[in-house]
A and B are shown apart, each in its own frame.
Chain A
Amino acid sequence: MTSASALEVERLRVELEGEGIDIVDEVSFHVDAGEVLGLVGESGSGKTTVGLAVLGHTRRGARVTSGDVRIEGRSILALDRLERQGLRGKLVSYVPQDPAAALNPALRIGKQLDETLSEHGFGASGEERRARITEALGEVLLPSDDAFLRRYPHQLSGGQQQRVALAMAFANRPRVIVLDEPTTGLDVTTQAHVLVTVQELCRAHGVAALYVSHDLAVVATLCLQVAVMYAGRIVEIGPTSLLFRGSAHPYARRLVEAIPELSGAHALVGIPGSAPRPGNRPQGCFFAPRCSYAVERCRVEFPPVARVSQDHEVRCWEHDHVLADALAARTAAVPLPEIKAHDALVAIRGLDASHGARQVLFGVDVVVRPQECVALVGESGSGKTTLARCIAGLHTNYEGEITFRGRPLRAGARRRDRETRREIQYVFQSPYTSLNPRKTIGQIIGQPISLFYDMGGREMRARAVEVLETVQLGGSVLERYPHHLSGGERQRVAIARALVANPQLLICDEVTSALDVSVQAAIVDLLAELQRELGLGLLFVTHNLALIRTIAQEVVVMSDGRIVERGASDAVLFAPQAEYTMRLLSDTPSLEAALAASG
């Protein structure tokens, strides 16, 4: 079978064991040698399940029930356990999402690399294996001296750990490699380096790679072919440039529109609702309930694969209509209002803050004016969250001055008066931890009301419903507990809890980083609108440069506890002055840039 692709997956179905409920089904694709196929999807779409099934592996509680996975023509699912074991790590290998957890904490790096080789019978001697380890580590730009090999995983940085995992995956010169979100959790600069390494290695060794990711920009940068998954199905597959410019599936299209761009030229549009979970999927097309193109047939029958062009397939009854709209202009972004006020709402001067004995902020000055949104940008560890927490009174170990409407703020929320606590509200990063799981939404929203206002039960309830409606939720959530809601809904509740106090300053700390892109777009859009309508001062803390132009007039860029650049959003994004900002901008994967580069 010389004509066979290096990796072929055919009508793969993985079920929850014993329940007959499919996690993924009807998944088919192929990857040729030297090619990288991007498999994109939001959380819960089943992309990791597919990635693991390529190695003939399923997580506990799941099993492959039909379909086939062939590597160089050999069906990996038909093999017995021992044969499959012999192929894994040799013919087909895996790069994990979180190398810090996937490298054994009790074994030295050298040992973990060596066993990958020795178990598959590579080399006649330790020296031969050692030579290959040196080679493999060299390819990922890591040293291979004894001191390095004798290290344990926790003695390496996150980027180094991921490079070790890459070296391990490429060590046996496999034909197929599955990369499962290998750059999640790395900062953008490290991510950029790892991506280049992956690309070079696949090309150099003619490896067929499946790159699983939720990040469309990364996939667009790395892959020529891309498959989009939604609720356990591949809904569209085709060349990256084609698919991201004019996709034939409404979901893929909406997903692209939800991605924030550095230019901020287009409005961010989220997808209403959320993806159905296994066992909860509707009849007909799974996307139909959220789809603006949906017709009667979409709600009855699951669409078959339709070929749009060579290499471009889609599962959508209405793909002709979708494609006809292909060149229709996207909604242009609403220009942000200009700020006329000059007096500061909150002003920070010469702030030094520490965690224990370690100083994390050094002489920081930031001003937020009324009705203005200031974006505070930086990578993890830059001190941006600490700064936000100092203002909110959650971090007290600091020196310097913070004034709010001209009056100095005391360190620590407990030492401030009630009015000040009411006027400064904070929305936390993860709605999964910021809402008490043992309280109903009504109790959660009711807490600030009863603290700040003297209201009776009925009045309080009316107020809660009112504020829930401003975040586009209804009074029907009042009796529910947080775990009944999706991540996006939870974050809306968290925003409602802040708004119910009628604040002057809203601090949003990475409020979208725990959410999928389509939900992120909706939340940012909501925040931008609320800020305009309610005239809030907004401090928007983020690591995502691409979100800035959608929401913020001013940007403050932080690195290692210091402010490296500040200015109007346009100026900073298009004409950065600081070297750090330039590097950050060039390392941030961008869908626009990737598509521009692909011509």
Chain B
Amino acid sequence: MTDQALALESAPARRHRPWLLLLAATWHQTRAKIGLALVALVVGIALVGPFFAPYGPDESVQVDGVFALPFEPPSDAARFGTDELGRDVWSRFLWGGRSVLALSVLSTALGAILGIAFGLAAAYSRGLLDEIFMRTQDVVLAFPQLVFALVLVATVGPETWLLVVAVGITTMPRIARVTRGAAVEVVERDFVRAAESIGVPQRKILFGEILPNIMSPLVVEVTLRLTFNIAVIASLSFLGFGLQPPAADWGLMINENRQGLVAGQPSGVVLPVVAIGLLTIGTSLVGDGFLRAAIGIERGGRRE
């Protein structure tokens, strides 16, 4: 036997870890860059905004000691005019982004962690757990997220923690479904058999062998769910079942200031609507970037 190693004919190794490759490929797309810029803008406003707000979140505008009237047009004292209670629209806008962001990120994280664990276990066990999982799909999907959250709100009342739990619980099976769908195909591959045959512990097979292979669809799905959850959380606020007055919250602001549309002072509605719209468009573009990057890598991988 020749002990000398054969010269490797294949391309020189790029020593990037696969997930770095996904990020790099995502970043190469214009759409993803635009999306990221939009997300950065809105998140920036929500996080940093309060430090630049001229008034407190529930502070009334006063000019020379006189309280401003509701729906006053823009002036020196209130750059974007006042809201239905004579508060500064601009300040409430700067204060009002944190809640939407925090609630939607928390609920998505809750749903993602539970969903991924459940989906992986279902795909790998292929037993009773999987059977139960498949059978309960219909039940869970039968309720639109918003409807399920409203049923809980009707019982418990509009509590902040309830929003996170309700949206998180309804996110969980949807992510579990995608996890399972992607994982059942990976579970069948021989490298999983190879790990089983030498006795690699199950936990390591799930998280060390299978999970890294489904990261791409999972990243795409979690981003998509985040987009939807922003919409659900904001919709609940808009319907009046989210944060309660006098809190500053974009969804609530839109609800409160709708009369301003008719009264010729639309900024109390326009600012939060635009912010939520840009945020969801941004996350959705980033998610699409992940999707395209994942498909691109997938195809590139097939070339070899």
Contact = CB atoms under 8 A, between A and B. Distances in A.
Is chain B found bound to chain A in the same assembly? yes
A475 B1 CA distance: 18
B198 A448 contact: yes
Interface stretch (B25-33, B146-154, B188-196): B188-196
Interface in A422-472: 422, 424-426, 428-430, 433-439, 447-448, 451-452, 468-470, 472
A489 B8 contact: yes
Contacts of B5: 468-469, 472-476
A273 interface: yes
A481 B198 contact: no
Nearest to A413: B197
A436 B8 contact: no
A464 B15 CA distance: 19
B11 A484 contact: yes
A434 B11 contact: no
A404 to B, nearest CB: 14
Given A273-B9, A437-B213, A451-B200, A428 B195 contact: no
B264 interface: no
A413 B15 contact: no
Contacts of A269: none
Residue of B6, B18, B198 contacting most chain A CB atoms (<10 Å): B198
B6 A272 contact: yes
Interface string A387-426: 0000011100000000000000000011010100110111
A179 interface: no
Given A451-B200, A479-B15, 20 more contacts: A273-B9, A277-B303, A394-B193, A418-B199, A426-B194, A429-B190, A434-B189, A434-B190, A436-B209, A437-B18, A437-B213, A437-B301, A447-B195, A447-B200, A472-B1, A480-B13, A481-B13, A484-B10, A485-B10, A489-B8
Interface of A: 272-274, 277, 280, 289, 392-394, 413-414, 416, 418, 421-422, 424-426, 428-430, 433-439, 447-448, 451-452, 468-470, 472-477, 479-481, 483-486, 489, 494, 497, 501, 529-530, 533
Given A413-B197, A479-B13, A483-B301, A433 B6 contact: no
A484 B200 contact: no
B196 A473 contact: no
Nearest to A431: B190
A473 B8 contact: yes
A451 B199 CA distance: 8
A414 B6 contact: no
Given A434-B190, A436-B212, A436-B213, A392 B8 contact: no
B76 interface: no
A422 B9 CA distance: 32
A426 B191 contact: no
B64 interface: no
Interface of B: 1-11, 13-15, 18, 189-191, 193-200, 209, 212-213, 215, 301, 303-304
Contact of B213 (A273, A438, A489): A438
B199 A486 contact: no
Given A469-B3, A484-B304, A489 B194 contact: no
A392 B200 contact: no
B9 A421 contact: no
Given A274-B9, A485-B10, A486-B9, A472 B198 contact: no
B11 A426 contact: no
21 contacts: A272-B6, A277-B304, A289-B9, A392-B197, A394-B193, A413-B197, A413-B198, A416-B199, A428-B194, A430-B190, A434-B190, A437-B213, A438-B213, A438-B215, A439-B212, A447-B195, A451-B200, A481-B13, A484-B10, A484-B14, A484-B304
B148 to A, nearest CB: 35
Contacts of B193: 394, 426, 428, 434
A474 to B, nearest CB: 3
B219 to A, nearest CB: 14
Contacts of B7: 273
Nearest to B13: A480
B2 to A, nearest CB: 7
Main secondary structure of the interface of B (DSSP, over half): loop
A533 to B, nearest CB: 7
A274 B190 CA distance: 24
6 closest residue pairs by CB, A with B: A474-B5, A438-B212, A434-B190, A428-B190, A480-B13, A436-B191
Given A277-B303, A473-B8, A393 B197 contact: yes
A489 B197 contact: no
Contacts of B198: 413, 421-422, 425, 447-448, 451-452, 501
Contacts of A473: 5-6, 8
A193 to B, nearest CB: 32
B190 A414 contact: no
B174 to A, nearest CB: 24
B10 A486 contact: yes
Contacts of A434: 189-191, 193-194
A435 B190 CA distance: 8
Contact of B6 (A393, A472, A475): A472
Contacts of B212: 436, 438-439
Contacts of A529: 1
Nearest to A451: B198
Nearest to B3: A469
A414 B201 CA distance: 9
Contacts of A280: 11
A529 B197 CA distance: 25
Contacts of A413: 196-199
Nearest to A438: B212
A424 B194 CA distance: 12
Nearest to B11: A484
Contacts of B200: 447, 451
A277 B300 CA distance: 13
A74 to B, nearest CB: 35
A280 B11 CA distance: 9
Nearest to B300: A483
Nearest to B214: A438
Nearest to B193: A394
A530 B3 CA distance: 12
B6 A426 contact: no
Contacts of B190: 428-430, 433-434
Given A433-B190, A479-B15, A497-B194, A474 B8 contact: yes
Contact of B1 (A428, A448, A476, A533): A533
B11 to A, nearest CB: 6
B199 A483 contact: no
Contacts of A414: 196, 199
Nearest to A525: B1
Contact of B8 (A438, A439, A448, A477): A477
B18 A476 contact: no
Contact of B196 (A272, A394, A489): A394
A445 to B, nearest CB: 12
Contacts of A393: 196-197
Nearest to B213: A438
B84 to A, nearest CB: 54
A277 B18 CA distance: 23
Nearest to A477: B8
Contacts of B195: 447
A421 B10 contact: no
Contacts of B14: 484
B1 A489 contact: no
Nearest to B188: A433
